[in-house]
Amino acid sequence: MTAIEWHRTVLFLLPPDALERHLCGPVLDMLEENGFSPVRYDVLWHRPPNQDAFQERNITSVWKAYFYRQVDLVFDLGPTLALLVEDRRADAAPGTSHTRLRALKGASDPAEAAPGTIRRDLRGINVMLDIVHSSDSPEDSRHEAEVFFGPGLGRPLDGGPAELRDLVALLEAGIPRETREYDDVLTGLRAKLVAAVWNELTPEGRKLAPGLTGLTRPGVGAELAALLPGGTAHPLAELLSCEFLPDHPKIDLRRAAARMAVYGLTLDRWENVVLQTSMIFPPLRRD
């Protein structure tokens, strides 16, 4: 195997949320437009066995253990595409590859990422569902490559870019394209809850219930819960009134799902991971 020049080779991940949203192609386009070419790859079909080693710095100095467990929710969504990408710009200054790629992906919080970055232009959901990961330094790339690839460091991309595009097409073909952002998920949840209790509302309550366009307005969930018979004592009141934002009261979604089941309702995997992570990490909202 040709020796890897870590000063210009970066560990780059397309996590399950990127595959769920069929964003791998656009991300690869942005990489290539900025002079980065994938040279090695692998598909991780399950949670990486050495994931705790990868997240060690966050676990010990940034996140609480409960926050870290949100990573498991993301990896439970499906496969991850791991890449080594090489900076092939002839005019790139030595030692700048990781910095350039970090700038291209944008801030971890998509709401703080600048226009023209991957996370802003392709609209990451929140810090946990932020479409891509790349290592911050040559040392991090070497360490994280061993975590995600193992000692073999993945498969060489002998077939060139077309080989990787074919693989991405196969991976995404087996996954219905997910288009819902945070506001869409919140609207959908509140819509099906209101529909489920429609016959329990008084005629006046049905008149006061907002249409779809108003279901993400701050405070509307609490207003809807107040219309329910029994008010806050209603089985769905807590779920209906929850804003699913860090600075608001949180809810146990597992218990909420049990209450929903009585009404024949469910939370799908995407709804669950978006709502669960957005209670901890602020989501990117629509203007």
Position 67 pLDDT exceeds 60: no
Distance, CA of 268 to CA of 272 (rounded, Å): 6
> Is residue 18 pLDDT above 70, yes or no?
yes
Of 22, 98, 133, 234, the catalytic one is 133
Per-residue pLDDT tens over the stretch 268-283: 999 999 999 999 999 9
Q: Which residues contact 150 (CB under 8 A, 6 or more apart)?
A: none
pLDDT level of residue 69 (50, 70, 90 thresholds) = low
108 vs 47: CA distance, rounded Å: 21
CB 228 within 8 A of CB 240: yes
What is the tens place of the pLDDT at every residue in 211-254?
A: 878 899 999 999 999 999 998 899 999 999 999 999 999 999 99
Q: Return the DSSP state at 199.
A: G
**pLDDT bracket for residue 54 (50, 70, 90):** low
**pLDDT mean over 79-99:** 91
The reply to whether 46 belongs to the active site is no
- Alpha helix positions (H), 113-200: 118-121, 138-149, 160-173, 182-196
